Amino acid sequence: MAGDGRMFLPLLVVLTGLGPGALQIFLPALPQIRADFSADPGVAQLTLSLSTLSIAVAMLLFGPLSDRIGRRAAVLLGLGVFLVGSIGCVLAGSIVMLVIARVVQAAGGAAGMVIARAMIRDRHPPEDAASMLAIVTTAMVIAPMLAPVLGGGLTDLFGWRATFAASGLAGLVILVFSLQSLPETRPADTKARPGLFAGGGRLLGHRDFLAYALQGAFSIALYYALLGGGPHVVMEVLGGSATHYALWFLPVAFMFMVGNLVASRISRRVGLDRMVLIGSFGNVLGSGLALLLALLGMAAAWTIFLPTALVAFFQGLSVPNGQAGALSVDPNAAGTASGLSGFLQMAFAAAAAQMVGMLQNGTVWPLLLTMFGCGLMSLLCFLPRLTGSRAASTG
């Protein structure tokens, strides 16, 4: 099926935003969910934590699946799973059933996050793919920014089940448009397509894939360290409010979007590896600046969030280019590469957020040191790619 070329990029944008949006839209409803089911807060929190784990595992599976059965079929399957999970959430009669249904919904939403990247790489060379990935990646920021606002309004007006109904309705609309307009992009070649373990193992043994994937994983981990530790630092350590935190976080999200938009314009001209290297240095520069200001006794919200906004801009430059690079290592396994790199990003992100939480000691240091460590590792992990390229060009 050829599909409608005009709908290709918009469809990939909404497919990418569906999973993150569904993850965030019900968060304002958590207190009401706990009250309705008389649930322990830790059990209710599983609707979020197990959903995050579900996304990570599903990303690992949907990538190679799309290499085997085709991108279009895998997307449609994921959307079907998402709808089943959404219906289960709306009809859930207990907190346990809600957790299970939310895990199913999250798994289905992960399909678009993975396969959209692979579909772009199928159609475009690395530098062009990086420009388009920069546009698609903004959906992963915009959706989580808008979804809680929508979810809060729906909860206040109609109750918590309306948040899952809204997610399901969005998934249904996207499914209808995908059936009509989403093309198959997987290359039609005769080479055997690797399975999950064979393809994943081959990629993990490839120096260039590891350089791109680990650079991106540590970059995202830096961002999630702020998500995990920022609220505690602002509200408990610095004495701010939830609104205070939300307002300070806005420039971080905004600068990430700006960085992605700049990357969409200049990646082809500057070059993929240079963009990733610039972003890696930006990770170190921004997180190092926040750490230095704290060492000088200037620990405050602005000394954390404004340098992190600088980091976010540079990540907007590097993340889409790193994704394009990871997917270009083996074009026959672009789906597997997308799923594996996505899994590494989610796993490292969860580990960084958890580390900040476990190390909390009433100061800013656990957050700032974790962020700086992730930024430094993003640079160190990418250096083998540069030294290898230089050796190849002079050999």
pLDDT digits (tens, 9 = 90+) for 46-64: 887 788 788 888 988 888 8
On the question of pLDDT at 131 being above 90, the answer is no
Q: Which residue has the higher pLDDT, 138 or 81?
A: 81
Q: Is 330 helix (H, G, I), strand (E, B) or coil?
A: coil
d(CA 30, CA 48): 10
- What does 221-276 look like in DSSP terms, one character per residue? HHHHHHHHHHHHIIIIIS---HHHHHHHHHHHHHHHHHHHHHHHHHHHHH-HHHHH
Place of tokens 């602002």: 234
d(CA 291, CA 39): 40
Phi, psi of 191 (to 5 degrees): -70, 145
Tokens of 112: 């678009």
Q: What angle do CA 192, 195, 200 make, to 5 degrees?
A: 115
Assess contact for 24 and 152: CB atoms under 8 A: no
* Overall average pLDDT of the 284-302 stretch: 94
Q: What is the pLDDT of residue 391?
A: 43
**Tens digits of residue pLDDT in 66-94:** 888 889 999 999 999 999 999 999 999 99
Q: Which residue has the higher pLDDT, 335 or 98?
A: 98
Residue ranges of domains in the chain, CATH in brackets: 5-181 (1.20.1250.20), 196-383 (1.20.1250.20)
* Overall average pLDDT of the 331-336 stretch: 75
Assess contact for 118 and 133: CB atoms under 8 A: no
d(CA 380, CA 243): 36
On the question of pLDDT at 222 being above 70, the answer is yes
